[in-house]
Amino acid sequence: MGSPDPKPWGAVPAIASIAFLLFAHIVVASPDAPVAVDVGVVLASNEGTTMDPALSSIGNQLQSMFTYSSYRMVDRLGRTLNVGETGEFGLPGNRSMRVTPIPSEGSKVRLAVQIMEGDRNILTTTLGLKRGGMVLVGGPAYQKGVLILIISAK
């Protein structure tokens, strides 16, 4: 039989270091961490058959969710907001969108979203997505098509 380890706790720092390395990738932003909100404004229509190169990475998603033949990015807006802080994004056609990050847990982001046309509220909802994820929101009519909003949060 071997002799007892003179330092029975000697392995603890090594085990703790290994555990830290194994779980380091699970670290998530604190619930009150600022949220970088990005809004892509897309005009979708049946005028032509073009896919804006700026949308190539999500072109298949757009075509599977919406039945338009043409998709053109008309604006891209971004801002970093603290939890509870409201940011306003100008949209085409005298519209605006207000976004407020609200408390969430883990790697999720919750956004209270309100879309206005002048003084009239046309949509109020809460979006839940993973930090780094995106949501496509089919919006109101505009010109000869509709606006689609690509909302992402990091």
Q: Would you kindly state where each structural domain of the chain is located, as residue ranges?
A: 29-153
pLDDT of res. 42: 98
Q: What is the mean pLDDT of the chain?
A: 85
Nearest CA-CA partner of 129 in 149, 107, 97, 100: 107
pLDDT of res. 32: 75
Look-up: residue for tokens 């029975």? 8
Q: What is the mean pLDDT of residues 51-80?
A: 96
Q: What is the mean pLDDT of residues 108-115?
A: 96
- pTM attached to this predicted model: 0.78
Can you tell me the distance from the alpha carbon of 116 to that of 133, in angstroms, rounded to the nearest whole number? 24
In this predicted structure, which of 13-27, 90-104, 112-126 has the lowest mean pLDDT?
Answer: 13-27
Q: What is the mean pLDDT of residues 44-52?
A: 96
Q: What percent of the chain has pLDDT over 70?
A: 80
> Does position 22 have pLDDT exceeding 60, yes or no?
no
> Does position 140 have pLDDT exceeding 80, yes or no?
yes
In this predicted structure, which of 28-32, 36-40, 113-117 has the lowest mean pLDDT?
Answer: 28-32
Number of alpha carbons in the 13 Å side-chain half-sphere of residue 78 = 8
Say which amino acid occupies 47: E
> Does position 135 have pLDDT exceeding 50, yes or no?
yes
Can you tell me the distance from the alpha carbon of 117 to that of 96, in angstroms, rounded to the nearest whole number? 7
> Does position 11 have pLDDT exceeding 80, yes or no?
no
At residue 31 the predicted structure's pLDDT band, cuts being 50, 70 and 90, is: low
Can you tell me the distance from the alpha carbon of 63 to that of 113, in angstroms, rounded to the nearest whole number? 24
pLDDT of res. 27: 38
